[in-house]
Structure 1
Amino acid sequence: MMEETWVVTVRSIITFITLIIYTRVLGKQQMGNLTYFDYINGITIGSIAGTFATELSSKAWIHFVALTIFTLITIIFQFVTMKSRTLSKLMDSDPTLVIQEGKVLEQNLHKMRVKFDELTVMLRQKDVFDITTINYAIMEPDGSLSVVLKPEHQPVTAKDMHMHPPKSKLMTELIIDGVLIKQNLYERHKDIKWLTEQLKKQKVTIQDIAFAAILPNDKLYIDLFDDRFNEKVDMGDYEGPF
Structure 2
Amino acid sequence: MPDWLEVALRTLMAVVILFILTRILGKRQISQLSLFEYITGISIGNLAAYLSLDTDSNWVIGIVAMSVWVAVSLGIEFLQLKSKKARDILDGKPTIIMQNGKILENNMKKERITSDELLEMLRMKNVFDVSQVEFAVMDTSGELNVLLKKEHQPLTPSDINLPVTPEKFSMSVIMDGKILEDSLKRVGLNENWLNAKLEKLGTKVERIYFAQVDSQNKLYLDPYEDSINAH
TM-score range, shorter chain: over 0.9
* Displacement after TM superposition at 1:228 (Å): 4.8
Aligned-residue CA RMSD in angstroms?
A: 1.7
- Alignment partner, residue 124 of structure 2: 125
Supply the AA of the counterpart residue of 2:79.
V
Q: Unaligned regions of 5+ residues in structure 1, if any?
A: 230-242
TM-score, scaled relative to structure 2: 0.92
Supply the AA of the counterpart residue of 1:23.
T
Give per-residue Cα distances to partners, 1:22-49, cap 9 Å, x unaligned: 1121112223432233222212221212
Q: How does 1:1-242 map to 2 (within 5 A)?
A: 3-228=2-227
Supply the AA of the counterpart residue of 2:34.
T
TM-score, scaled relative to structure 1: 0.88
Q: Unaligned regions of 5+ residues in structure 2, if any?
A: none
Residue aligned with 1:160, SS: helix
Give per-residue Cα distances to partners, 1:71-117, cap 9 Å, x unaligned: 11000000011112212111100001111122211111111111111
Supply the AA of the counterpart residue of 1:27.
G
Contact between 2:174 and 2:180, CA under 8 Å: does it hold in 1? yes
Supply the AA of the counterpart residue of 1:126.
K
- Alignment partner, residue 238 of structure 1: none
Residue aligned with 2:158, SS: coil
* Displacement after TM superposition at 1:161 (Å): 1.3
- Please give the alpha-carbon distance, in whole angstroms, between the structure 2 residues aligned to 1:152 and 1:227: 41
Residue aligned with 2:135, SS: strand
Give per-residue Cα distances to partners, 1:178-213, cap 9 Å, x unaligned: 111111111111112111211110111111111112
Contact between 2:37 and 2:73, CA under 8 Å: does it hold in 1? no
Contact between 1:138 and 1:145, CA under 8 Å: does it hold in 2? yes
Contact between 2:35 and 2:90, CA under 8 Å: does it hold in 1? no
Give per-residue Cα distances to partners, 1:145-203, cap 9 Å, x unaligned: 01111222211111111112221122211111211111111111111211121111011
Residue aligned with 1:118, SS: helix
Contact between 1:35 and 1:143, CA under 8 Å: does it hold in 2? no
Supply the AA of the counterpart residue of 1:176.
M
- Please give the alpha-carbon distance, in whole angstroms, between the structure 1 residues aligned to 2:221 and 2:68: 48
- Larger mean Cα displacement after TM superposition, 31-40 or 124-133: 31-40
- Alignment partner, residue 237 of structure 1: none
Q: When the two structures are aligned, how many residues end up with a matched partner?
A: 228
Residue aligned with 1:113, SS: coil
Supply the AA of the counterpart residue of 2:180.
I
